[in-house]
Amino acid sequence: MENVIIREARREDCKELRRLIQELADFEEMPDDCKLTVEGLERDGFDAVPPLFHCYVAEVNTHMKDISATKEENVSDVLKMGDSCAKLIGHALYFFSYSSQRGRTIYLEDIYVTPEYRGSKLGSALFDKVAKKGIETGCVQMDLVVLNWNPAQIFYKRKGATDITSEKNFNYYSIDRDAMEHLLAYKYKHTLVDTKSVNL
């Protein structure tokens, strides 16, 4: 697509990035699960050292027809031509993790393209950007989670992904903050009881 570039996200993208993340949550039928704020994205992605996440964004600009769509070095030229016409139409958010069996991994947390640009291979380009970053940074694998009803599973399998839930019998678990606080409160309460029982 000649009027679209894929580039690394910047701080000033966070408002639009939050919009895209909400659109993804809506698509996944979990609209109320999206609690992260614009300020949270700015803090975690651009103030934290090292950043807690990284992100590629796809940007469309009506003034970009005469500019190569594939070179990130053209971004500054594009913005000089009128960034008021620029709009984010997709993103791929990732972070680095670690496998105790294999080593450094790259985790694809989100990948999303707005409905009007699906079918344009933009999602594939975003995915490939993250995979390339994984290779460049010495990662041994790329991980992601997908809902069992999401037809994107076909896309991921075509990219070489393996469904470890069915093939290796792994189940992905998550413990939310309320559960963690409850766990610690319970442990602390019983620690106090045990301490009193031995007269310490």
Whether the per-residue pLDDT at 79 is higher than 70: the answer is no
C-alpha 135/C-alpha 71 separation (Å) is 19
Residue 86: predicted pLDDT:
81
* pLDDT tens string 5-63: 999 999 999 999 999 999 999 999 999 999 999 999 999 999 999 999 999 999 998 66
Residue 76 lies in a domain: yes
Domain that holds residue 23: 4-170
CATH of the domain at 142: 3.40.630.30
Residue 28 lies in a domain: yes
Q: So which residues are the catalytic ones?
A: 156
Q: 87: which DSSP letter?
A: E
How many structural domains does the chain have?
A: 1
Q: What percentage of the chain reaches a pLDDT higher than 90?
A: 73
Residue 3: predicted pLDDT:
87
Q: Which of 1, 114, 126 is nearest to 55 (CA)?
A: 126
Residue 200 lies in a domain: no
Q: Are 81 and 59 spatial neighbours (Cβ–Cβ below 8 Å)?
A: no
The amino acid at residue 165 is T
Look at strands 141-144 and 54-61 and give their pairing. Answer: unpaired
**H/E segment holding residue 187:** helix 177-197
Residue 130 lies in a domain: yes
Question: Is 63 or 85 the better-scoring residue by pLDDT?
Answer: 85
C-alpha 127/C-alpha 87 separation (Å) is 19
Whether the per-residue pLDDT at 67 is higher than 90: the answer is no
Residue 123 lies in a domain: yes
- Please provide the average confidence, as pLDDT, over all residues in the chain: 86
Q: Which residues contact 200 (CB under 8 A, 6 or more apart)?
A: none
Confidence class of residue 192 from pLDDT cuts 50, 70 and 90?
low
The dihedral of CA 95, 99, 104, 106: what is its sign?
negative
* pLDDT tens string 50-60: 999 999 999 99
Whether the per-residue pLDDT at 76 is higher than 70: the answer is no
* pLDDT tens string 115-131: 999 989 999 999 999 99
Q: Are 59 and 86 spatial neighbours (Cβ–Cβ below 8 Å)?
A: yes
Phi, psi of 12 (to 5 degrees): -70, -5
Whether the per-residue pLDDT at 64 is higher than 60: the answer is no
Residue 182 lies in a domain: no
Residue 101 lies in a domain: yes
Q: What is the mean pLDDT of residues 89-97?
A: 98
pTM: 0.81
Residue 116 lies in a domain: yes
